[in-house]
Amino acid sequence: LLVSMLFFLPSLIGQPHQCTNQFFISLYQSNNPSFTRFYEVEATEDQVNFNTVFNANAWINAIGFNRLDHYIYGVRRNTCAIIRIAANGQVTTVGTEPVVVSEGGWITGAGDVASDGRFVVNQRPRNSLFIYQVTPSFNFLEELPLRWDPSTGNAGPVTIALDDIVFDPCNANVAF
């Protein structure tokens, strides 16, 4: 019985994505945020193609690919759930963010997974990055307030709305 359960386990949790240097983007319409379409972006010298990979019946944002387990992680904004997205579009909740739930919601547009597997999400009203362990189990690690580097000539908290964040694939401590 255990062997048969292990055989069917991948189909229950969804298959991981293949690591083929794909670039994904998630888009939803402002008048229908409960439906998110995921695209693979292919760029050539003279055009960019958006190929639909799958659709999800959820308001998903702040996605990032985890190189350690080959799943995409993101935020389900209307529930404050941290989710794992399989290659077939299956969405599984791995944890919930309790801090922002009590503050009235999850307002974010930026997220990524560092090369060491940490999932990082920008929480706009708090001007902070929330850092989570998502594999092998879910755990909130820390909140990191965004501050200006003195070399910019600015001081204090960073109060701009981040729409994207991406980690250097070779250095988990560097993000752009």
CB-based contacts of 140: which residues, under 8 Å, 6+ apart?
A: 95, 97, 130, 131, 132
73-96 average pLDDT score: 87
How far apart, in whole angstroms, are the C-alpha atoms of residue 64 and residue 117? 10
Q: Does position 118 have pLDDT exceeding 60, yes or no?
A: yes
pLDDT tens digits for range 2-52: 333 333 334 444 665 555 556 777 777 777 777 788 888 888 888 888 888
Q: Say if strands 32-43 and 60-65 run parallel, antiparallel, or are unpaired.
A: unpaired
167-176 pLDDT tens trace: 877 777 777 7
Q: What is the mean pLDDT of residues 73-88?
A: 86
